[in-house]
Amino acid sequence: MHPIFRGALEKMGYCCIIISLMRNNVVVARKRHIIMALLVVVFAVFFQISCNKGGSKDRSSGQLAEKSNDALGHNRTEAEDALVIAVSEDINQLDLLLQNDQINQNCFALTHSVLIAANHDKMEMIPVLAKSWKWLDPTHLELALDGRARFSTGNPVMPDDVVFTLERAMSADPAISIWSSTLANVEKVEVVGKLKVLITLKKVDDDFLYTLSDRSLSIQSRKAYEDPNNKEPWLVGSGRYVFKKWEPGKRVVFERVKRYWGDDPGVAPTMVFIPVPDASERLRMLLDGEVDVCLDLSAEGLKKLKWNNDVDIFQKDGSKLFYMGFNVSRPPFDDINLRRAVSCAIDKNAIVMQALGGLGKWQTSVLNRGNWSFLDNTEIDGYKYDPERAAELIGESGYSKGVSVVMHVPSSDPFGRVAEMIRSDLKKIGVDVEFKILDEASLKAECKEGKAQCFLTSWNVIGRIDECYRDLFYTGGAANYHHLSDPKVDKLTDEVRSEPDMENRMELSHELQRYHADIVVQVPLYVSDMVVVSRKGLKGALLNGGGQHDWSRAYIETQAR
């Protein structure tokens, strides 16, 4: 029996005894006092019950449901006023320079600060650690740091920390950084004043300010790395929150910095990410009060909330591109006609309508929708859905009699449904597909090692188109899971980055997109809509169409102090 009701029954028993005594005239002399005592007891019983009624879902009062305690794995005191977010995958690597995964980057937005941030909606750059910057000439960028900036350790953010971070990112050692190719155009970084840094480029780079806004290039503390007692120096940042603990598969927890150096400190005392691969389970947890925010909701889940006035729904066009990639360095997908046949066999529109419930747009370009120079489906011929042409192309390949392949598939939604539809389409042209299901971090690791024949994954880029062209397709690119080495791709990628004339640069970017559609090292599938659902009162969240959200100022309205 619940202790509240057990206590209530005990108190009611006392009341019965008192009433019985009154009837037997045992306490007639004190009848007035007994009646007063009886009223006090009854009032206390009902007050206690009413205080606990509904407490299982009211996190603003510090009361959590028993299910919520189980899910979070901590007690009520620790969970008070936490902003709890259900995400589709777990973090995997909080060493900034050794990863490029979206969920990790959501964490870095809490704990670390970039030199310059990008407001993609307005296409403008925002000062963060660098309060100002100026181009001395097309290849020399000078930045002046905000002298107030402090790391979570209390140490000031100095120019030497900027030099340390960028030089470490430029390291050719893959055990230190996977970002060397991204910064290959940087000649040197040097301190030129008490709070000033000068970055010298080898060539003009039209995307360089956007490069500096990448969260993986957030500034780290040199002193933290020099401290022999600090075994995880990459966790030291200058953001609004500090890392507290990570329980793999269960949760990752961050705590608010109490003396944040900037003008806008965090609001929620604690920030918690809970990995839940299944979209319907994420929604259930939200509706049951176990979490405050649910990401990546399915179309079916969205329909269930149509008349629900207890939640807020945030929906906008997305930018994250979901695609099927090929390892072109090994059979069978070193055969270009096989890749082209696969591209023509996949009904992308059917995937959007059936697997996504219409919450997205299919596309042909390898560049993320919404970026400058993006070519829409009508502007690229490519190898679009055409079953007859697919049959012809498979006949021209070295696999006219059929082929069996293994596809690496992420374990989170909606990849499973998408993979099943692709398997059904490819079977019609004699390509039999088996699945290897992995979490995204393991999948990317195997793809990077060249173990995958083909795979499903996603990529988000807004602002820096060089990130897409270089990281995914350039020889030695950080996310070149295609293992592509194509001189024309490399040449066009370099030209797009350094061409000063914007009209010529636009033409070069269009040429590169059309060339990728022709060689088909990946089949772009679709861009899904961004859907975020929260309980009423979510404020301060910066929601990105590609999923690289910034929760560092987010809170439920009742959490404001």
Instruction: For tokens 């996504």, name the residue.
Output: 356
Query: 86: number of CA atoms within 13 Å, CB side?
Result: 30
User: Could you report the per-residue pLDDT of 171-190, keeping only the tens digit for each?
Assistant: 999 899 988 888 989 999 99
Q: Which two tokens stand for residue 508?
A: 């070069």
Question: What per-residue confidence (pLDDT) applies to 559?
Answer: 57
Share of the chain above pLDDT 90, in %: 66
Dihedral of CA atoms 468, 470, 474, 479 in degrees, nearest 10, equals -60
Q: Which residues contact 146 (CB under 8 A, 6 or more apart)?
A: 127, 128, 129, 130, 131, 157
pTM (two decimals): 0.76
So what's the pLDDT on residue 291? 96
Q: Which DSSP symbol is given to 33?
A: H
The SS3 of residue 344 is helix
For the chain, counts of helices (H) and of strands (E): 18, 21
Q: What is the pLDDT of residues 104-162, one digit of tens each?
A: 999 999 999 999 998 766 668 899 999 999 999 999 999 999 999 999 999 999 999 99
297 — pLDDT class (breaks 50, 70, 90): confident
Residue 13 pLDDT exceeds 70: no
**φ, ψ dihedrals at 186, nearest 5°:** -85, 125
pLDDT at 123: 66
pLDDT higher than threshold 80 for residue 229: yes
Is the backbone peptide bond immediately before 156 cis, with ω within 30 degrees of 0?
A: no
Please give the pLDDT value at position 80.
53
Between strands 270-275 and 83-87, the pairing is parallel
Can you give the pLDDT at residue 300? Answer: 87
CA distance 172 to 179: 8
- How is residue 394 written in tokens? 């498979």
Asked whether the beta carbons of 202 and 187 are under 8 A apart, the reply is yes
Would you say how long the chain is, in residues? 561
84 forms beta bridges with: 272
Question: For residue 344, is pLDDT > 60?
Answer: yes
Closest Cα to residue 150, out of 232, 226, 221? Answer: 221
Rounded CA-CA distance 232/252 in Å is 16
pLDDT digits (tens, 9 = 90+) for 455-469: 999 998 877 788 899
Q: Which of 73-82, 99-108, 114-123, 326-335 has the highest mean pLDDT?
A: 326-335
What's the pLDDT tens digit per position in 190-205?
999 999 999 999 999 8
Closest by alpha carbon to 237, among 129, 102, 93? 129
Nearest to 326 by CA among 340, 307, 308: 340
Average pLDDT of the residues in 284-296? 94
Per-residue pLDDT of 255-266, as tens digits, reads 999 999 999 999
Cβ–Cβ contacts within 10 Å for residue 304, how many? Answer: 13
Q: What residue ranges in 368-500 does DSSP mark as E strands?
A: 403-410, 431-438, 454-459
Taking the chain, what is the end-to-end CA distance rounded to the nearest angstrom? 37
Q: Which amino acid is at 97?
A: L
Write down the pLDDT at residue 306: 81
User: Which two structure tokens, joined as six digits, stand for 353?
Assistant: 């309508």
Contact 535, 508 (CB under 8 A): no
